[in-house]
Amino acid sequence: MRGSDEGSGRLFSYVDLEARVRRDHPLRAIREIANTALATLAPDFSELYSKTGRPSVAPERLLRAMLLQAFYSVRSERQLMERLDTDLLFRWFVGLGIDDPVWDATVFSKNRDRLLDGAIAAKFLAAVLAQPRVKRLMSSDHFSVDGTLIEAWASMKSFKPKDGSGNEPPPDAGRNAEVDFKGEKRSNETHASTTDPEARLYRKGAGMEAKLAFLGHALMENRAGLIVNACLTPADGHGERNAALAMIAPLANRPVGITLGADKGYDARVFINELRAMNVRPHVTQNTNGRRSAIDGRTTRHPGYVVSQRIRKRIEEAFGWIKTVAGQRKTKFRGVERVGCSFAFAAAAYNLVRLPRLLAGSS
């Protein structure tokens, strides 16, 4: 018998969101890990909010919504609010009831900015990794480091002379006027972006296009391939090595030394000496292109060096997910601090995606 296509509304609804999400859904395990981490951040949340006034959006719900935005590559806050309004899975993960109203996109953005300014992203990343069952998966002796380019939310047309000189488009040229850069010498010393002054003109390699960008850095432990630290710096030639030293320093100076794998861009004598002074064995790829490498037989003769060189490349998998799925290839924020918080939160989301399978495999 053919079914009827006529629809009729119901006065009452008995939808149980918990029953609508299947028991083996990947978000169930992710939500449990995330909720445990969020519970430890309750004192930090209390410091960000006033003791008086009207209740704001719960920060735990904001962070869970931001996780969904990273997991499902949601491009904008307005699109995220639309998904929350219509998708029962999104409502269940965030903690909204079937009849709860969805926030306005502007309200969500304003409250989210408070969390970005409070460096909650780095604390959330640390809280996820501090859980006992997660710590058992991780190595405490072997690490890898690398950096990646994060394009700034600024056009090359905004990169103008700091002294105010230069050819300005006519007033009637519109908001996207034609600009001819041919023959003009542009550098970070003489020019700056009017959209994001903290973004710097940077070229990743020889023959590549120079872009307004930041440098994102990640420290990975080698056993499970989880990101244990993430930060962001202005784009310059020394940013990767300086960030690597800052991230490995809290883990160094142990009686039994640790190892740090890296590509040949880190093969600089000053950097290698700094690592050895901290009792960190530098498993850095040798750069012998027209120069003498700072890595000699004292390091390369050990079998662990070969292992570190093979495993360190896994950090590119994290960068690929963070930039492609989590939308960090071109940031939508401005300034080193806010872009850095967004990058660190995307690194935490990457860990959460991988943890359910890792925990299942270890049990």
- In sequence order, the β-bridge partners of residue 52 are none
pLDDT in tens, 201-213: 998 877 888 899 9
The pLDDT, as a whole number, for residue 93 is 96
Strands (E), 152-285: 159-161, 191-193, 200-202, 211-221, 227-234, 258-262, 280-284
pLDDT in tens, 161-182: 888 776 666 666 666 667 766 6
Whole-angstrom CA distances from 51 to 115, 171, 335 are: 17, 49, 29
The one-letter amino acid code at 158 reads: S
Whole-angstrom CA distances from 250 to 139, 254, 270 are: 15, 10, 19
Task: With both helix axes pointing from N to C terminus, report the angle between 336-362 and 59-71 in degrees, rounded to the nearest 10.
Answer: 80
Domains of the chain and any CATH numbers: 17-118 (no CATH), 139-152+213-333 (3.30.420.10)
Distance from C-alpha of 260 to C-alpha of 220, rounded to nearest angstrom: 9
The pLDDT, as a whole number, for residue 54 is 82
pTM: 0.91
State the pLDDT confidence band at 14, using cuts at 50, 70 and 90. confident
Rg of the chain (C-alpha set): 24
Distance from C-alpha of 198 to C-alpha of 277, rounded to nearest angstrom: 32
